[in-house]
């Protein structure tokens, strides 16, 4: 389901498609109330009708919203408009890690080198509010 430029979902106006993946498409949109760019992740209708997929979609939004770290996009809203389910999140301009790796033909550890101590500190500082341990998250 490709959304045309100018289509409105609640207070968000679609500008262009910027990505796609297993759980849906991602669009650059304008938050018409707060006048800022956002990324809208759209769950396709066929997946939204599947209760398990819808649960996973909502869990993804809740998990991301519970984290607070500069390297994790901020979730603004999870919503539905005219039968379209979406997650509105912070728009971060630039290339994706996948694009950077392919453009430079480099390995992940060279594209995003993070020393072990820094990884541990990032994990400690990306605190999850109200999240059960991974073993209990199912």
Domain map (residue ranges) of the chain: 1-93, 94-126
**CA–CA separation, 88 and 79 (whole Å):** 8
Share of the chain above pLDDT 70, in %: 75
Alpha-carbon distances, residue 62 vs 2, 14, 81, 116 (angstroms) = 25, 23, 19, 27
Q: Quick one: pLDDT at residue 80?
A: 92
Report helix, strand or coil for 121. helix
**Model confidence at 37, in pLDDT bands (50, 70, 90)?**
very high
Report helix, strand or coil for 106. coil
28, pLDDT greater than 50:
yes
Average pLDDT, the chain: 80
Report helix, strand or coil for 82. coil
19, pLDDT greater than 50:
yes
Burial annotation 16-46 (CB, 10 A radius, 16+ → b, else e):
ebeeeeebbbbbbbbbeeeeeebbbbbbbee
Q: State both tokens at 79.
A: 């919503």
Could you tell me which CATH number the domain at 1-93 has?
A: 3.30.200.20
């Amino acid at each position: 389901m490709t959304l045309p430029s100018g289509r409105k979902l609640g207070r968000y106006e679609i500008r262009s498609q910027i990505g796609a993946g297993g759980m849906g498409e991602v669009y650059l949109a304008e938050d018409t109330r707060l006048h800022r760019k956002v990324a809208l992740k759209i769950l396709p209708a066929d997946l939204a009708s599947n209760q398990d997929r819808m649960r996973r979609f909502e869990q993804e939004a809740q998990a991301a919203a519970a984290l607070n770290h500069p390297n994790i996009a901020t979730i603004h809203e999870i919503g539905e408009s005219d039968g379209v389910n979406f997650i509105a999140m912070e728009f971060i301009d630039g290339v994706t890690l996948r694009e950077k790796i392919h453009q430079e033909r480099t390995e992940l550890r060279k594209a995003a080198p993070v020393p072990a101590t820094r990884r541990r500190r990032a994990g400690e500082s990306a605190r999850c509010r109200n999240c059960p341990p991974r073993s209990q998250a199912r």
